[in-house]
Amino acid sequence: MNLLIIGPQASGKGTQAENLIEKFGLAHVEMGGLLRRVSKEDSELGNKVREVINSGKLLSDELVVEILNQHLSSLGRLDNILFDGFPRVLSQAQYFEKFLEKKGKKLDAVIYLTLPREITFERLANRRTCGTCGKVFNLKTKPPKKEGVCDYCGGNLVVRSDETPEKIETRLNEFEAQTLPMVTYLKQKGLVEEIDGNRPIEIIFADISERLKKRGLVKNA
Ligand SMILES: [Zn+2]
């Protein structure tokens, strides 16, 4: 099966992606990480990506698909993949659909984790990251033993610069304006499993597994 996972910031997407990969033996194709890797490469594609990023522009759908295509060929298969971070807008989803179709493949389901806006803010407002080792804490659910100090390395705990309320607001607005139209499109295709992300991690994962089982995509969920 090929899955796509989507969800706003702090929806627990990363954790559920890890669970899916581990339990169902999927390959994780995570676009953000892939783009960062390619942008560091000394290759024609790497140069092209760097140029666009440095100019502050967004990568075109064609360029993103080119990178994805190259990565998928190196992976050597087009099955049992969890796509993450791509497609994220309607035009990409339509392009991607044709791309898979040409290869005789398809997307089997979309896991869409939902989270109320105020909960996103609450979760991120309580998040602290170690400036030294990068470990993440939560003042409510996973507080450090000593206030402001990392349990692992003794480094200072900080609010990440991309997790300020203004940045969160911008990103949530972007998600609603750009990604939700794609979700509507995929819903019309009957692909979307909408999952309430405002619950404990294990319960969310059990729910996801159950939905995949009902779709006949996995046997023992
Ligand atoms: Zn640390």
pLDDT (tens digit per residue) in 24-49: 999 999 998 899 899 999 999 899 99
Q: Separation of 21 CA from ligand 1 center, angstroms?
A: 27
Compute CA 66 distance to the chain's CA centroid, rounded to the nearest angstrom.
Answer: 19
pTM of the model: 0.87
Per-position pLDDT tens, the chain of length 221? 999 999 998 899 999 999 999 999 999 999 988 998 999 999 998 999 999 888 877 788 888 988 998 999 999 888 999 999 999 999 999 999 998 999 899 999 999 999 999 999 988 889 999 999 989 899 988 899 999 999 999 999 999 888 888 888 998 999 999 999 999 999 999 999 999 999 999 999 999 999 999 999 998 65
The distance in angstroms from the start CA to the end CA of the chain is 14
Q: Residue 7 has what pLDDT?
A: 95
Dig out the tokens for 154 from the structure.
Answer: 């003794």
Q: What positions carry a catalytic annotation? A: 13, 88, 127, 160, 171
Q: Separation of 126 CA from ligand 1 center, angstroms?
A: 17
Q: Residue 220 has what pLDDT?
A: 67
Q: Separation of 152 CA from ligand 1 center, angstroms?
A: 5
Closest CA to 46 of 35, 54, 56, 55: 35
Which CATH superfamily is 2-26+80-214 part of? Answer: P-loop containing nucleotide triphosphate hydrolases (3.40.50.300)
Distances (CA, A) of 204 to 47, 109, 134, 218: 40, 16, 26, 17
Q: Residue 60 has what pLDDT?
A: 86
Q: Separation of 72 CA from ligand 1 center, angstroms?
A: 35
Closest CA to 176 of 52, 64, 89, 87: 89
